Structure formats: C-alpha cells, structure tokens
Chains A and B, each alone.
Chain A
Amino acid sequence: MKLFGKSAKIFTGIILVLVSVFPSYWLLAMSVRPMDEMRGRISLIPSSLTLEHFRNLFTEKDFSRALANSLQVSLISLAFSLVFGVCAAYVLTRQRFRFRAKKPFNFWILIVRILPPVAFTIPLYTMFNRLGLLSTKIPALLSCILINIPFIVWFMVSFFQRLPEDIEKSARIDGASEWQLFTRIVLPLAAPGIAAVTMLSFLYAWNEYTYSIIFVQSPKNYTIPLTLATLNSEDSLTNFGLVAAGGIMSVLPVLAFVVFAQNYLIAGLSGGAVKE
C-alpha cells in the first residue's frame, strides 16, 4: 500500500522521532548542564557536563529517602498484588471451580478499572485517618494494591483463558493435587503473562501520584513523584537541574524494562486492554 511518497516518508519519520524524543532529551540535557549554562540563551547541546545536580539531589534534598520509599512501596505492593491477583484470576477462569461470587467479582473488577479514583478516595481517607495511618507509608502501599489487583486479574483472566483446561483435568486424573497442578504446571505456562503484568504493575506503582498526593502527608514518606512535585513548586532556576536530575532517576526502571524485556512490556501494554 503506497500511502506516503518517499521524501514525505522521511520527513514524517524525522518529525515523529523529534517530537517523541525531544522532551526526554531535554530532561537529560538539563540534568547534566552546569548552572551558568542555564541562564541567558540556552544551547541545544550543553557545552560542558556536570553531575552537580545529581549530587545536590542526594545531599540537599535527601533523594535517597524518596528512592527508598518508592522502591519499598512499589515492590511490596507488587508482591501482594501479584500473588492475590494471579491466584484469583486462575480460579475465575477455571470451569471446574464454581461459586456464586464468581460473576459479580469479575464484573466488579471491570467496574473498578473504569471508575475514577475519586469514587473511593474520601472514605479511604477517613478510614486511614481513623486508623492513624496517614503519617505512614501504608496508605500509599494500599493504593497501589488497589490499582494493581484489578489490572492483574483482568489481564491474567484473558491470559489463563487461552491456556486449555484439559491438561489440568488429565493431570488431576493422574493424581496431582490442585496446589501441585497450579504451582508446577499452570504457573510455568503463565510465566510470559506474569512477566508482562509484573513490569506494568511495578510501573503503575512507581508512577502513582493521585492517591499519594492525598494520602501521604509527611514529607519523610514522599515517593519520587511527590518529591519531584515539591521541587517543581519552588519555582527557581536552581531547581531546574534538581528536577531534571530527579526526572532522570524516575525513568531508570522503565529504561531497564525497555532495554532488557521490551517484548513483555509491549505485550502487557497492548494486552491489558482497559488501561490504568
């Protein structure tokens, strides 16, 4: 199909690449640019490089704490969401398990994916407040679980539905228990799907902002997005380098996934239909 002429094709390609890459490039360029090169006319390419913004980020803004908070919240919420979500999705898809809550549960999972976060935030806030949790990281952690369980269940249900139940039935006849069946046969077959949801769930938790800004109250519990947002509100040139350096730090996990596991990441993005 000939839709674009040759020179139009090249031109479109260049524009697409520029538009996609430039804001990220600019973040990187600002993060390594010395302060005096940010004033006046800014060159597209910094003429000398510095790591001072990264250094300041860690020494003055205590970024290592934000990094630790983000890792803690993302990894712990990921572990819970993954175990709970994958187990639930498996039972939901198997005809041999029948119970009354099955259909309503599956329906509610879809509804939660669709509803805006504000449908839940106010009562959750009062609940966390009553339990005295607002000064801890637990609300942030629970919010990530709340976001990721529906995502994982939804994604894994369509994944498990593609694995035929017959294999499991014959293994059952051969005397394997349900638990053995699940851990030894089903989970290894589901590994590609699990890899995809693991990466995406981690990213959703890593990037989470809406719930955190409402539930996380003390700066010592701030995750990376919240820390970046506070740097952003102090509007001065000194912060440009810090924001840029922090922004680069926030991108590292995505970068690692793109470099090492791009195919799983993309499978997760396009298979997870209802997006976060």
Chain B
Amino acid sequence: MMKADKRFAVFMVLPALAVMLIMTVYPMASTIYYSFTDFRLLRRNISFTGLKNYASLLSNEYFLASVWNTVKFSLLAVTFEVVLGFLTALYVNSLKSLRLQKVLRTVILLPYLLPTVTAALSWRMMLSPNYGIVNQFLAPMGLPVHNWFRDIHTAFAMLVVIDVWQNMPFVFLMVYAALQSIPQEQYKAARIDGAGTIAQVWYITLPNLRTALMLCTLLRTIDTFRIFDKVNLLTGGGPAGSTTTITQYIYNSGIKSLKFGMGSACAIIMTGLVLVLSALYVRDIMNQRSI
C-alpha cells in the first residue's frame, strides 16, 4: 500500500473507530469494572467489592423473576412471531395477483414501521378499561373484560400480543423474500412425483427456508430479550412485578435509584446471556464474511 493510500484508509475509518471506542468499548469496559464495585452516583468513594453484587443478585428473587419474565417473554413472542410470520408469507406468496401481493406486503408491514411508542400508545387507547373500543366490543358479547395492563392475569399476555403484532411483519418480510428465491422447478418435480401440498411444504419449502427461519428466530430473540420501551410505557413492570423484564429491572433498581454498581452487574449478566444465545450465529457470520 502506498503512503498516500494508507493515509486515505486511516482517514476514512478513524471517525467511526473513534466513536465506537468512546461510546462502546470504553463503556463496556467500565460496566465490567463498575459491576465489581459498590459505585453509587451521588457518593464519592467507590470501593471494590469483588463478586458481592453478583452474589446478592443471584439470591435476589426480584432479579431472578425478571430473568424468568424475560426468558418467558422471548420464548412466547418469538415462537408466535416466527410461526405467524411464516404462515403469512406462505399465504401472500400463494396469491396469484402480483399486484395484490405487493399491496398486502405494504399493509402487513405497517405495524412494524410504526414507532414503538406510538404503537404502544395506540394499543393502550384501544384497551383502556373506561373508554377503550376493545372492552366495548367484548362486554355485550358476554366475554370477560379486564383492566388489561393492571390485571396480573392479562398484563404479561398483552405485552406479548403487542410485540407479536408489531414484529411478526419482520419475519414475514424475511421469509417472503426467501420464498421467492426457491426455484420453481423443485415444486414441479415434486408434483410430477405426486407430492401433495403438505408434502411440498415439508420437503421443499421448509428446507429452503431453513437459513431465513433460523436467522429470524435469532434476531427476534436478541431483540425481544432487551424489551424495555413497551414494558416501561404500558405497565412499568407491574402489576406486582409480573412484567418486569431484565432491562426494566435495571432501569428501576439500578439506574433510577443510582445504584450503578449493582445495575452494572445486572447488565453484565444480561450481556453474558445474550452472547451465549448468539455465539453460534456470531461464529457462522464471521466465517462467512471474509474481510
């Protein structure tokens, strides 16, 4: 590489590199460091307390409950998102009119494109116990009505429903794109061999979609695992902690109460979980991307 080219390369990459160092590498290292201390924002001295934060978190039932809530939320939401997204993609792809397909694609994507805060508030309005359209429809039919976000039996489920509603379109879009790249000859050959619809889905569609479905599952898992905005807006973690996810827990008992050492330890545990969940993906993708 010539000297001038070297200068060019450095000049091009340096700003992004600097931002990442200051805004991510340094913070990540500090979070690790803080997690071993009793750091509180308004107190002067920080002392090193070793694994004390971790030990007290692992015996803290509220924290453990938040981990369980997060895992439960991820499992439920991702399962529904992937299954419904997949079925929706099959459905749209099976329509004969390409124009109709394109229009439907846009309509289905709508929830995904809304700002999360806006989507959450719209649902809150519909589900309002006094003035909401949902209760107004359910009540005359003799169906149970609830104060959806305050009732311990429904709050968690409502968050799952809203997340599925908003993010199923992402899975739909990825699967729909993958569906269109399956060679039609495969179906033709299968039909000649006498395969029915179910057999075609099982033996041709699913194997071809394997990569897309795995990728969606992983990306949705990473994203649902960090859920915060919907929770914070709609339930604040309640009622009785039944919707407190890890991020909401860190927000309430680490950041708002200024217990930064403890909050950092939570964040590190969460980071560890996310990295374990995505380790295989990271390995595969780094092998694919030769740089």
Contacts and interface: CB of A to CB of B under 8 A. Distances in A.
A188 interface: no
Nearest to A118: B267
Given A1-B197, A42-B131, A275-B219, A12 B23 contact: no
Contact of A269 (B10, B90, B173, B201): B173
A20 B27 contact: no
Interface in B94-150: 94-95, 104-119, 121-126, 128, 130-131, 133, 136
A193 interface: no
B200 interface: yes
Contacts of B264: 122
A24 B114 contact: yes
Given A27-B125, A91-B12, A114-B282, A13 B201 contact: no
A96 B19 contact: no
A99 B118 CA distance: 44
Contacts of A213: 232
Interface string B7-20: 01110110111011
A160 B246 CA distance: 37
A68 interface: no
A192 interface: no
A57 interface: no
Nearest to A13: B104
A45 B114 CA distance: 22
Contacts, number: 271
A1 B291 contact: no
Contacts of B275: 111, 114-115
Interface stretch (B57-65, B75-83, B151-159, B247-255): B247-255
B215 interface: yes
Nearest to A38: B131
Given A105-B13, A114-B275, A123 B131 contact: no
Contacts of A232: 121, 124, 233
A175 interface: no
Contacts of A123: 26-27, 30-31, 34
A241 B206 CA distance: 46
B22 to A, nearest CB: 8
Given A126-B260, A207-B116, A118 B270 contact: yes
A240 interface: yes
Given A23-B119, A214-B251, A87 B12 contact: yes
B255 A4 contact: no
B43 interface: no
A260 interface: no
Given A13-B104, A114-B275, A275-B170, A243 B121 contact: yes
| Interface core residue of B9, B88, B170, B201 (most chain A CB under 10 Å) | B9
A274 B219 contact: yes
B114 A254 contact: yes
| Interface core residue of B6, B27, B233 (most chain A CB under 10 Å) | B27
Contact of B12 (A90, A150, A237, A240): A90
A101 B17 contact: yes
A1 B16 contact: no
Contacts of B51: none
A257 to B, nearest CB: 8
A115 B278 CA distance: 10
A54 B133 CA distance: 22
Given A158-B289, A270-B177, 13 more contacts: A16-B104, A17-B104, A20-B108, A21-B107, A26-B122, A84-B15, A84-B16, A97-B5, A101-B13, A108-B20, A122-B255, A122-B263, A210-B228
